[in-house]
Amino acid sequence: MKDVRILEIKESVFADNDQQADQLRAELKEKGVFLLNLMSSPGSGKTTTLTRTIETLRDTFKIGVMEADIDSDVDAHTIAKTGAKAIQLHTGGMCHLDAGMTRQGIEGLEVGDVELAILENVGNLVCPAEFDTGASKNAMILSVPEGHDKPLKYPLMFSICDVVLINKIDVMPYFDFNLEKCREYIAMRNPNAKVIPICAKTGEGMDEWTNWLKEQVQEWNA
């Protein structure tokens, strides 16, 4: 198995996270690095979605991935197999990443020539939404088995995301998931959020998502 670096990140010492986030975003912009913050519940398919995304975009951009987890390094190994630069961040029990912690990851990843950096945040719909990581854009995945009522229960997460991927649409027939209601609930929280139904496993809808992401990266570095 290809060796993957594991970085134990430390709790931030900064009081003003918003300021730290703005500063990191400005520095990344300067360097030509687009940072995507990808969030979701545990098990919604972040890693599978990322794997597919990298396969589609790796000839267009130099990609680097930070896999944040409380423990384990299975995800970073999976991502490393795609050929992307990958690093595992261990949060030491912490439930989210803030800008200071993201900065440690960016330094550990040694972004250098990376054009698209992706942070796979800790699987959690609550805490990661409260901390600006310094990302250029926020994305989240809601998977069909979780139910269409999640925007009602985790309002902040949906309100801060630029794009919501509805994953695992292949199993829609086996769950009581109402896509129209889901779109309506997301719009209540965030009328500007783009909603893209996908199936990371089969590839359905992935073109719309990777095209959207490609445009964002190109605009950022224009």
Minimal distance in Å, beta carbon 174 to a second copy? 5
User: Binders of a second copy among 87-116, rule CB under 8 A?
Assistant: 93, 95
Minimal distance in Å, beta carbon 171 to a second copy? 5
- 143 touches a second copy (CB under 8 A): yes
Q: Which listed residue (11, 19, 174, 203) binds a second copy by CB under 8 A?
A: 174
Which one of 55-63, 71-79, 81-89, 192-200 is the stretch in contact with a second copy (CB under 8 A)? 71-79
What single string gives the DSSP state of each residue in 29-57? HHHT-EEEEEEESTTSSHHHHHHHHHHHH
Q: Which listed residue (152, 202, 203, 211) binds a second copy by CB under 8 A?
A: 152
Angle at 111 between CA 107 and CA 61, to 5 degrees: 155
- 153 touches a second copy (CB under 8 A): yes
- 146 touches a second copy (CB under 8 A): yes
Instruction: Show the tokens assigned to 14.
Output: 């900064």
Minimal distance in Å, beta carbon 190 to a second copy? 14
Tell me how far apart the alpha carbons of residues 190 and 111 are, in angstroms, rounded to a whole number: 32
> What letter does residue 182 receive in the DSSP assignment?
H
Listing from the earlier edge strand, what are the strands of the sheet with 85-90?
5-8, 85-90, 63-69, 116-120, 34-40, 137-143, 163-167, 194-197
CA 148 to chain centre: 20
Q: Which listed residue (7, 127, 179, 187) binds a second copy by CB under 8 A?
A: 127
Residue with smaller CB distance to a second copy, 76 or 163: 76
Q: Which listed residue (34, 61, 154, 209) binds a second copy by CB under 8 A?
A: 154
